[in-house]
Structures are given as C-alpha cells and as structure tokens.
Amino acid sequence: MMVGGILLSSIGAVVASLGTMVYMASDNILCEPCMSNGYCPCEEKGGKTGGIALIIGGLLGVGAGIPLIVIGARKVPVIEEPAEAPAAALLLGPGGLTFRGQF
C-alpha cells in the first residue's frame, strides 16, 4: 500500500503541475485577425476548463496517496507461536519400518 501511495502522490503532483501550466497557457490564446474595427471575440478552446480539471484530479491523487502512505507505513505486529519441541517417531507397518523426525 505504501508504494501505491507514493506513486499516486507523485503522479498527482505532476498532473496538478501540468494542469497549472495548461491553465496559465490558456491565457495566451492567439485570436484570428479581425477585419472589422469593432470588438472581435476570441473563442476559448477549453484550456481553462481542462487545466482546472487536471489541477483538481492531481490534488485528489495527492490527497488519496498520502493516507495510503501513512497506512502502509504502519508496522505489522508479529505473532510468534511457541516453538514445538523436537520429536521423533519409529513406525512399524506391514511393508517396513519408518523413522519420522521433526526438528
């Protein structure tokens, strides 16, 4: 879980940074030449909306990755069972003799 959290946080930070760049670059839209002397509107191509979506997605990735890192970093308690004593057995059967040992 810890590795997944680290990856999710890292990718989320990169995506949020990319979204910030897309959002800031969308202000530099070049308008087509206007033939009239009045107001010439420039259409937004979706750069601001896409940039905001990337920023939100990146922040959600970072926000989801941090708890995964914290939960994954917890130490797992080790439950040690008592060791069994060594045992040996000699089995006699119709087909032969068997020696069984446990260490």
> Is the residue at 41 inside a domain?
no
In a domain, 39, yes or no: no
Per the structure block, which two tokens stand in for 54?
Answer: 């990337």
What's the token pair of residue 37? 């002397």
**pLDDT for the residue 36:** 66
Instruction: Tell me how far apart the alpha carbons of residues 58 and 18 are, in angstroms, rounded to a whole number.
Output: 9
pTM for this model (two decimals): 0.63
Mean pLDDT, range 67-84, rounded to an integer = 87
Ranking 31-35, 45-49, 79-83, 91-95 by mean pLDDT, the lowest is 31-35
How many residues in total does the chain contain? 103
Question: What confidence score (pLDDT) does residue 78 get?
Answer: 86
Residue 95 lies inside a defined structural domain of this protein: yes
- Flag whether 86 is in a domain: yes
In a domain, 77, yes or no: yes
What percentage of the chain exceeds 70 in pLDDT?
81
**Parent domain of 62:** 2-31+46-102
For 42-68, the pLDDT digits (tens) are 666 677 888 999 999 999 999 999 999
Residue 38 lies in a domain: no
Domain count, the chain: 1
Per-residue pLDDT at 37? 67
- Tell me, yes or no, whether 36 lies in a domain: no
Predicted confidence band of residue 38 (pLDDT cuts 50, 70, 90): low
